[in-house]
């Protein structure tokens, strides 16, 4: 990577803020940052002007947003889809605080994210200076992998020293965000002090930069165990082993899939694991974990990624009679909190050349065949129940997830809300036959919030340059409708948003709060958990200038999903959540009947 340098203008600026902003922008481009999301503000104006000039010169791509929270999740979506950090730039004050949800999600899910906040000079912080707080530089606390507070030089301080300090600081921030400083990838924060004047004194044409080498993932820790040896080390263990793949980058998903295939172990893969394909992936696996001769017979779990999606998996991981081996990409990756786990640090497949995931699979064992047969039977039962519902005129969340997954094309992205949408996908979507046929599935499972889902999808689509479908519920859509509000002329994604509109929080229907036997359910459930809104989502989205339409039957849904994703559109699918608890009970009962005895 080229070393950071300051711009070499024919007429260099004599204003510290203008010159340092240009240093920052060049350092971003030199470090490989290609997408920057900017919100309007006065204190951040030096950066805004410099970013505009860099965008015009083709050094990076600038995206302007009205809403800081949407901007942060847009940048997060870029990092989640590409593995490379995008930057989000704001002015001072509460603008920075609005980035916090995305920063926390990036921290927990190890997604690279670069926050650049403009601030006033140090001497006026903690005074009556408008829109200024002394808390800003350290606002994100331990969530930031690295935080730097870069001061504007005083009138007698050499500007050349500040130029070098700021350029090096930006390079350090990007490296830390990528995980190149020995830790996990994640969010970083640069607080940049700008002094008046904030408007450039001379125009700027950014210099051409040397071509960057192809982006690569951070180097693995020196203590890493080659991934190709994982199956050798684990092969001597219990025969009744399953691989559980949770949310994580595609590299870890490929590792989990390859390990399962080489060892002929059942693969229980969450949708956003990157592993849900191939002959070992078991359909509707969470319905099988309660069966004595399947889930009850497991002796060892090899866990990859962050498996937090379903209670049956959590119960499996917590069992005292099951050995748990956790494979992690970084020594500081979190685990399930069990003192009996074994941890191995592995080099994910895209960080190595000698241990690819194409080494072929072992012959299926009786253990694997038992899971495969049960998975196929469970999928058939589930499909039959969902089709019966559709024939009766009832479109449901699991049906919608099944159809969205079936319509996804190779090379596309599928972004799901982290609540019922991803769980419906996990339950009802059949695993893809081969990895090449699977879309990249993304979900905010670091903290499992529904905030920012639409903005994340926009960022993912823009960053990857791929057609993208977002599967969300009505509350997630309401929560982040501003994410679809792009100013005129801004780069626009190819994004189809599919909204299951069941007028409230359907996920709570299936939890203990929605149990009809709960003594207070009839009195408080709708107000505290159901939270109906009664709003016309088609009209709401239309007011944002985004085409939207209502889809009310299965044939119409399939026709809409079969069309190529071009531009931005929203499909609203009405549903009734009152029967959701009974639907899941019927599915569980019929699957148990169809699969009892393995």
For 371-414, what is each residue's pLDDT tens digit?
999 999 999 999 999 999 999 999 999 999 999 999 999 999 99
C-alpha 169/C-alpha 149 separation (Å) is 9
Angle between helices 159-177 and 16-30 (to 10 degrees): 30
Containing H/E element for 200? none
Give the burial class of 383: count Cβ atoms within 10 A of its Cβ; 0-12 exposed, 13-18 middle, 19 or more buried.
middle
One fold for 16-193 and 227-367:
yes
The mean per-residue pLDDT over the stretch 298-326 comes to: 93
What's the pLDDT tens digit per position in 587-596? 999 999 999 8
CA-wise closest residue to 108 among 444, 418, 446: 446
Domain 227-367 matching CATH 3.40.50.1220: the answer reads: yes
Say whether pLDDT at 72 is over 60: yes
The reported pLDDT for the residue numbered 219 is 36
CB 415 within 8 A of CB 77: yes
Task: Classify 16-193 by CATH class.
Answer: alpha beta
Q: What is the pLDDT of residue 328?
A: 85
CATH superfamily of 395-575: Thiamin diphosphate (ThDP)-binding fold, Pyr/PP domains (3.40.50.970)
d(CA 265, CA 344): 18
Tell me what the mean pLDDT of segment 106-116 comes to: 97
Beta strands per DSSP E along 319-410: 323-328, 342-345
Whole-number Å distance between alpha carbons of 511 and 491: 41
Q: Where are the domains of the chain?
A: 16-193, 227-367, 395-575
Cα distances from 300 to residues 112, 237, 324, 367, in angstroms, run: 32, 8, 6, 13
Of residues 307, 290, 292, the one with CA closest to residue 244: 307
Distances (CA, A) of 109 to 249, 334, 450: 9, 10, 14
Rg (CA), the chain: 25
The predicted-structure confidence for 492-534, as pLDDT tens digits, reads as follows: 999 999 999 998 877 777 677 777 776 666 678 878 888 889 9
Residue 496 token pair: 């189809």
Residue with tokens 């940049």: 192
Tokens of 67: 């809403």
What residues pair up with 277 in beta bridges, in sequence order?
432
Predicted structure pTM score: 0.92
Q: What is the pLDDT of residues 137-168, one digit of tens each?
A: 999 999 999 999 999 888 778 888 999 999 99
Q: What angle do CA 570, 574, 580 make, to 5 degrees?
A: 130
Helix 420-428 vs helix 366-391: crossing angle, to nearest 10: 120
């Amino acid at each position: 990577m080229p070393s950071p340098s300051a711009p070499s203008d024919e007429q260099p600026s004599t204003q510290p803020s203008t010159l340092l902003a240009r240093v920052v922008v060049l350092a971003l481009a030199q470090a490989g940052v290609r997408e920057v999301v900017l919100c309007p503000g006065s204190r951040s104006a030096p950066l805004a002007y410099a970013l505009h000039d860099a965008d015009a010169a083709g050094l990076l791509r600038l995206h302007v947003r009205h809403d800081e929270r949407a901007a942060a999740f847009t940048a997060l979506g870029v990092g989640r889809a590409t593995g490379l950090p995008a930057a989000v730039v704001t002015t001072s004050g509460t603008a920075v605080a609005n980035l916090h949800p995305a920063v926390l999600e990036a921290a927990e899910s190890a997604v690279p994210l670069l926050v650049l906040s403009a601030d006033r000079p140090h001497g006026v912080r903690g005074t009556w200076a408008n829109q200024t707080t002394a808390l800003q530089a350290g606002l994100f606390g331990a969530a930031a992998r690295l935080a730097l507070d870069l001061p504007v030089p005083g009138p007698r301080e050499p500007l050349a020293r500040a130029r070098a300090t700021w350029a090096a600081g930006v390079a350090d921030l990007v490296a830390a965000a990528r995980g190149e400083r020995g830790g996990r990838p994640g969010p970083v924060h640069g607080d940049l002090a700008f002094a008046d004047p904030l408007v450039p004194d001379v125009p700027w044409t950014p210099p051409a930069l040397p071509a960057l080498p192809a982006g690569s993932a951070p180097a693995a820790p020196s203590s890493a165990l080659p991934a190709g040896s994982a199956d050798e080390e684990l092969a001597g263990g219990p025969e009744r082993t399953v691989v559980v793949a949770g949310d994580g980058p595609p590299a870890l998903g490929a590792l989990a899939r390859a390990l399962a295939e080489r060892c002929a172990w059942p693969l229980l893969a969450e949708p956003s694991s990157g592993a849900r394909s191939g002959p070992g992936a078991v359909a509707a696996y969470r319905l099988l974990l309660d069966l004595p001769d399947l889930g009850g017979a497991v002796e060892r779990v090899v866990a990859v990624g962050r498996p937090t999606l379903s209670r049956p998996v959590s119960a499996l991981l917590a069992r005292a009679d099951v050995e748990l081996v956790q494979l992690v990409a970084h020594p500081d990756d979190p685990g399930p909190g069990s003192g009996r786990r074994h941890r191995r640090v592995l080099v994910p497949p895209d960080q190595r050349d000698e241990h690819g995931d194409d080494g072929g699979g072992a012959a299926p064992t009786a253990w694997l065949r038992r899971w495969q047969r049960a998975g196929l039977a469970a999928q058939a039962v589930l499909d039959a129940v969902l089709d019966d519902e559709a024939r009766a005129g009832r479109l449901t969340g699991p049906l919608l997830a099944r159809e969205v997954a079936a319509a996804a094309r190779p090379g596309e992205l599928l972004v799901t809300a982290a609540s019922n949408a991803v769980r419906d996908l996990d339950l009802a979507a059949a695993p893809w036959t081969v990895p090449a046929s699977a879309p990249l599935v993304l979900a905010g499972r670091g903290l499992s919030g529904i905030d920012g889902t639409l903005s994340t999808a926009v960022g993912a689509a823009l960053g990857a340059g791929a057609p993208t479908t977002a599967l969300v519920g009505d509350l997630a859509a309401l929560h982040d409708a501003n994410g679809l509000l792009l100013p005129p002329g801004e780069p626009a994604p190819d994004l189809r948003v599919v909204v299951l509109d069941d007028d409230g929080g359907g996920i709570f229907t299936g939890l203990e709060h929605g149990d009809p036997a709960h003594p207070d359910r009839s009195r408080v459930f709708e107000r505290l958990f159901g939270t109906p809104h009664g709003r016309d989502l088609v009209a709401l989205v239309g007011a944002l200038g985004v085409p939207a339409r209502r889809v009310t039957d299965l044939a119409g849904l399939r026709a809409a999903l079969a069309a190529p994703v071009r531009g931005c559109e929203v499909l609203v699918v009405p549903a009734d959540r009152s029967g959701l608890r009974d639907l899941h009970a019927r599915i569980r009962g019929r699957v148990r009947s169809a699969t009892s005895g393995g």
